């Protein structure tokens, strides 16, 4: 496995600096085998500007303004963050800050953390009572108890880093890797694109150059987005073998939202609206099978967009409908306009062109 870049931050002016320093120095030494570790005790502009180079950030202690600055910057870059309060969220400590102007800011950054490490049962119970973050993990502090060793703590901490990295792959996939993924998915659902020899050559050359870590992120992301079967089909058509990795066995936090299972419905409406159903039946004939299929998918996709999140699989479903279903483009435009979905459909067409390379001849021009 490729080494990940880890930043450990323990501000020198924090109340628990001495305790934290003894912990961090030992932990840092034991993590270097699997991580490129940088340990800092103060912040400057160069540090903040280089945060994007790290795969995970581990912050020790709270209530120091430099921690707040660091967390805000890390979250803006979508870098996974682990917080170890070292007792800074115990009731008697929180009582000193709950009426301060910045208490709300601290609550927000703690809530956004990828995980919060607590070091004892009492601290775990106290933290759970705050209801700030359900992703808490108990890893005892070997400075304070002889029940654990630094070796076991380093191993548990490394597993936690791996878990938060795997839980946030959608934010670490580059545009280049995303284009590779989507291009291969296109081949998986549209074998006609095998005739685009230049595109196939580029894809075939790119996949073998990936690191194990990049493969891992792609396979996790494809599974999260419910397109792993399409990806596998595309790789098979390119004669590319993927690594043996059972994504379902990977320990990671669930997505913060829940995707609908299966394909995007194309024969039934998701929104339970009599008005929408009546409007659809008024504007489309029973014999307009292809047109009805696409319009229903657009209605359902719009509903998902307005009420949550859309898995990549459902965009692929619209792609396949446009590519392989006979329909009258002018009628589709008229129906979507009547349904009030013209602007939304135009955005989807642009997205399909950009992500899945929908050929121009299959793009419905809503301004037509």
Position 363 scores a pLDDT of 94
With cut-offs at 50, 70 and 90, classify the pLDDT of residue 198: very high
| pTM for this prediction | 0.92
> CA-CA distance, 222 to 242, in Å (whole number)?
13
Structural domain ending residue among the three candidates 219, 234, 256 = 256
Cβ contacts of 342 within 8 Å, gap of 6 or more: 333, 336, 366
With pLDDT > 70 as the criterion, what percentage of the chain qualifies?
A: 99
Does 1 have pLDDT greater than 60? no
158 and 188 fall within a common domain: no
Give the number of other CB atoms < 10 A from CB of residue 68.
17
Same domain, 251 and 113: no
Tell me which of 256, 277, 304 is where a domain ends.
256
Do 41 and 125 belong together in one domain?
A: yes
Q: Is there a single domain that holds both residue 274 and residue 248?
A: no
325 and 219 both lie in a single domain: no
Q: How many separate domains does the chain show?
A: 3
Question: Which one, of 88, 72, 78, lies nearest residue 19 by Cα?
Answer: 88
Residue 322: is its pLDDT beyond 80?
Answer: yes
Cα 343 to Cα 284: distance, rounded to the nearest angstrom = 19
DSSP character for 1? Answer: -
Please say whether the beta carbons of 173 and 217 come within 8 A: yes
* DSSP state for residue 361 in the 8-state scheme: G
* Cα–Cα distance for residue pair 292/117, rounded to 1 Å: 52
Q: What is the CA radius of gyration of the chain?
A: 25
pLDDT band for position 368 (cuts 50, 70, 90) = low
Residues 57 and 31 sit within 8 Å (Cβ to Cβ): no
Kindly state whether residues 292 and 202 are assigned to the same domain: no
In the predicted model, what is the mean pLDDT of residues 244-266? 93
pLDDT interval class at 230 (50, 70, 90): very high
Give yes or no: residues 143 and 47 share one domain.
yes
Same domain, 183 and 322: no
Q: Return the structure tokens found at 260.
A: 């609908």
Q: 296: domain range?
A: 258-368
Alpha helices in the chain (DSSP H): 17-31, 45-49, 65-76, 91-94, 103-112, 121-130, 150-166, 175-189, 197-206, 212-224, 228-237, 274-283, 289-307, 312-324, 329-338, 342-356
- Of the residues 140, 166, 192, the one at which a domain ends: 166
**What integer pLDDT is reported at residue 11 of this predicted model?**
95
Instruction: Name the pLDDT band for 367 (thresholds 50, 70, 90).
Output: confident
pLDDT at position 64: 93
Same-domain check for residues 292 and 179: no
The DSSP bridge partners found for residue 9 are 40, 59
Top-ranked range on mean pLDDT: pick from 8-17, 26-35, 178-187: 178-187
Query: pLDDT digit string (tens) for 327-338?
Result: 999 999 999 999
Asked if residue 339 and residue 224 are part of one domain, the reply reads no
Q: Are residues 154 and 39 in the same domain?
A: yes
25-75: pLDDT as tens digits: 999 999 998 999 999 999 999 999 999 999 999 999 999 999 999 999 999
Strand order in the sheet with 136-138: 35-40, 4-9, 56-60, 81-84, 115-118, 136-138
Do residues 86 and 160 both lie within one domain? Answer: yes
Q: How do residues 105-150 score in pLDDT, each as one tens digit?
A: 999 999 999 999 999 999 999 999 999 999 999 999 999 999 999 9
């Amino acid at each position: 496995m490729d080494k990940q870049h880890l930043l450990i931050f323990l501000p020198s002016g924090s109340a628990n600096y001495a305790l934290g320093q003894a912990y961090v120095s030992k932990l840092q030494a034991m993590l270097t085998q699997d991580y490129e570790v940088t340990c800092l005790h103060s912040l400057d502009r160069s540090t903040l500007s280089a945060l994007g180079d790290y795969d995970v950030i581990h912050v020790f202690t709270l209530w120091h303004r430099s921690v707040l600055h660091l967390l805000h910057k890390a979250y803006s870059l979508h870098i996974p963050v682990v917080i170890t309060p070292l007792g800074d969220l115990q009731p008697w400590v929180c009582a000193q800050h709950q009426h301060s102007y910045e208490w709300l800011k601290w609550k927000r950054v703690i809530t956004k953390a990828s995980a919060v490490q607590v070091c004892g049962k009492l601290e775990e119970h106290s933290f759970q009572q705050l209801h700030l973050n359900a992703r808490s993990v108990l890893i005892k502090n070997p400075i304070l108890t002889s029940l654990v060793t630094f070796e076991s703590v380093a191993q548990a901490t490394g597993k936690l880093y791996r878990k938060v990295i795997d839980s946030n792959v959608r934010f670490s996939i580059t545009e280049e890797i995303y284009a590779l993924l989507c291009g291969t998915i296109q081949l998986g659902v549209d074998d006609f694109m095998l005739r685009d020899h230049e595109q196939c050559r580029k894809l075939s050359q790119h996949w073998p150059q990936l690191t194990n870590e990049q493969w891992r992120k792609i396979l996790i992301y494809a599974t999260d987005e419910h397109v792993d079967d399409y990806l596998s089909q595309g790789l098979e058509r390119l004669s590319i073998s993927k690594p043996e990795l059972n994504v379902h066995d990977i320990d990671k936090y669930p997505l913060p939202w829940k995707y609908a299972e299966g394909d995007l419905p194309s024969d039934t409406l998701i929104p339970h609206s009599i008005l929408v159903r009546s409007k659809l039946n008024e504007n489309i004939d029973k014999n307009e099978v292809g047109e009805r299929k696409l319009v229903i998918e657009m209605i359902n996709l719009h509903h998902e967009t307005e009420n949550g999140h859309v898995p990549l699989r459902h965009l692929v479903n619209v792609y396949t409908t446009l590519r392989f279903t006979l329909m009258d483009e002018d009628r589709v435009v008229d129906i979507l306009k009547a349904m009030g979905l013209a602007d939304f459909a135009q955005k989807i067409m642009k997205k399909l062109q950009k992500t899945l390379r929908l050929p121009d001849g299959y793009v419905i021009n809503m301004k037509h």
